[in-house]
Structure 1
């Protein structure tokens, strides 16, 4: 092994790239064994694996992913297109995608689209094609994937989150309708005559779904449907909209389309002297980590972002491998988390 190490050292001094054969000589194994270790195979005994890894470290060897891709036909990379990195849902879904991809031995390449236009979508797909990815996940909040004149490059395996894309693409989403109905039912079951809605931006798919489900839920119970007020997902927008809701003496219950806007709503109600939940009950959506630390702790609808990310990666890999995946949406269930921000209406 010393002789092999000296040979490799000489090659490195001449500027030559360290090869898999060099690692094999130093570790005293075959090149096939080095390849299996590089690819994460579990068929190599631990002692041999450690010896190969030590040789890689000593020599500064980096596996040639491009060469592996040419041989296997796979780049072991998933492309992810996102339209915003500022919302809790997108960040937590992206985190879950990265973790699930890593468990499957894949990396991710992230492409943010600054301007959500059709040209922006096509440009993102073109960039991913140049960067060599095996499949694409799109975290989509805006009305683009359903546009008739959007034509994606052929041969791409595409899975979409937060969209109403048609059956051309696999889709994974939180059960927006079920979660919203649970929130509305919780407030009505407490005795509130109706539920006001602090909605997300009108161009957002999930905000649109929650607003539609809110209307349907009230209609199913025979309740009046108040005019919604709109925010942009931020706590500041929730505060501004909350000032209008706080001024309405008939408002005793509010369903906010996300927890951040609910936070701003709580501030507005407090400033206008309306106590939560004694005067007004509030339910959010997301169950962000801070929701239990709001004042009062927020009743909310919990989304399972980890499961959304896991299903997105699973569907992308099934399509990549030519396995049966099926059209349509895969809906991830939600859960009502009851805390201190909801109570029966004032008598």
Structure 2
């Protein structure tokens, strides 16, 4: 019976023979790929000083042998665990969920895994607990999505963990990536005014939301600059239910001819309330939303809305975080702004002629 030579082919024969009882090692991968153990280590640690043909040969050998990188050993060697943490206050919100989805996809492309902690109550203790949970699981950095609690200067977070905020107000404490909330809200308001509506009512998101506050401020500023009356703001909670509840009140007012809703779900509830009251959209009342959810173009009528690029938000968040983790940069303040776009559909039109009075609401 011939012996198995100590060659790549021999290693492959041993690998598939089932004789090995221990997990495959870097030495086994090196033998199968015909490279040195140092080269396997470079590939396992995603180092750049390996040519592509050799890298693919090593990766193929890893797949054949079922080799799994020892993350603890890699962390000791590189100081990185290849794990990103995400803290979110509400994953049921459309924007938060889509941003998280993008973060996970982009992180995977960069060779990182993602661990998520959901904070249900925006208190200092809850945020610190979420940080403790993620840091105990050895994350290299953390993304916080719409973290209103970080507005408070008294909140102390563990030092040494790179942070980036998505859709939140960092002040000068943390780097942040945000959709240009003000530009989107201004575009929605100015669109309705340009159609001839005497003013625009606003159905805002929660008062403790950074995004909602900025949209409401931009709406108010746009009306004042246009010399239009400023109606009272109604506050919802981003849900269709809150849009419907507030919409029932707005539907009884015939001086309401245009409404800018803080997000598409509240706009959907508003449209339902208007329909039940016999107010047609857009013949009697024009409605603009915010987000451009997947269903927006299929509503009846299709919804005019402000499209946010949540995928770009996720990409930018990971990019900023990796600049800190891998590049060692020290970053603070708003460093990236993603521009939204007004998508005009059939839910907006000029006001009915009987309602063009400029009487203050």
TM-score normalized by structure 1?
0.92
- Whether 1:21 aligns to 2:27 is yes
Give the drift of 1:127: 1.5
Look up the match of 1:219. 224
Equivalent-residue separation in structure 2 for 1:324 and 1:122 (angstroms): 22
**Cα distance between partner residues in 2 of 1:187 and 1:328:** 30
Task: State the 1:2 CA deviation.
Answer: 5.5
Q: Is the 8 A contact 1:229 1:241 kept in 2?
A: yes
1:97 matched residue in structure 2: 103
CA contact (8 A) 1:146 1:164 kept: yes
Give the conservation status (yes or no) of the 8 Å contact 1:252–1:280.
Answer: yes
Aligned mate of 2:307, from 302, 308, 330: 302
Q: Residue 66 of structure 2: which of 37, 60, 63 is its match?
A: 60
1:30-67 CA-to-partner distances (Å, cap 9, x unmatched) read 21232333344563443x54543343233321011111
TM-score (norm: length of structure 2): 0.89
* Structure 1 position 288, deviation (Å): 1.0
- Correspondences of 1:41-190 after superposition (within 5 Å): 43-46=50-53, 48-142=54-148, 144-190=149-195
Post-superposition CA distance 1:288-332 (Å, at most 9, x none): 111100110011111111221122111112222123645335221
Contact 1:37 1:44 in 2 (8 A): no
1:25 to partner: Cα distance: 2.0
Q: Distance in 1 between matches of 2:80 and 2:56?
A: 26
Tell me, yes or no, if structure 1 residue 210 matches structure 2 residue 209: no
Q: Is the 8 A contact 2:174 2:333 kept in 1?
A: yes
TM superposition shift of 1:240: 1.2
Whether contact under 8 Å (1:141, 1:206) holds in the other structure is no
Q: Which residue of 1 aligns with 2:38?
A: 32
1:288 to 266, 288, 293: 293
User: Cα gap change, 1:141/1:125 in structure 2, threshold over 3 Å: closer, same or farther?
Assistant: closer
Q: Deviations over 1:237-274 (max 9, x none)?
A: 11111111111110000000000111111111111111
Q: Paired residue for 1:4?
A: 11
Taking the aligned partners of 1:126 and 1:11, their CA distance within structure 2 comes to: 44
Runs of 5+ unmatched residues, structure 2: 1-7, 354-361
Displacement of 1:217 after TM fit? 1.4
Q: Residue 151 of structure 2: SS of its match in structure 1?
A: coil
Contact 2:176 2:332 survives alignment (8 Å): no
Does residue 209 of structure 2 align to residue 201 of structure 1? no
Deviations 1:119-173 (A, max 9, x none): 111111112211112111111243x102132101111211112222221100111
Residues 147, 165 of structure 2: 8 Å contact kept: no
Q: Cα–Cα, structure 1 residues 52 and 104, in superposed 2: closer, same or farther, change >3 Å? A: closer
**Residue 323 of structure 2 corresponds to residue 318 of structure 1:** yes
Name 2:248's counterpart in structure 1: 243
Change beyond 3 A, Cα 1:220–1:45: closer
Deviation of 1:23 (Å): 1.7
1:229 aligns with 2:230: no
Gaps of 5+ in 1: none
Runs of 4+ in 1 over 4 A off after TM superposition: 5-11, 48-51
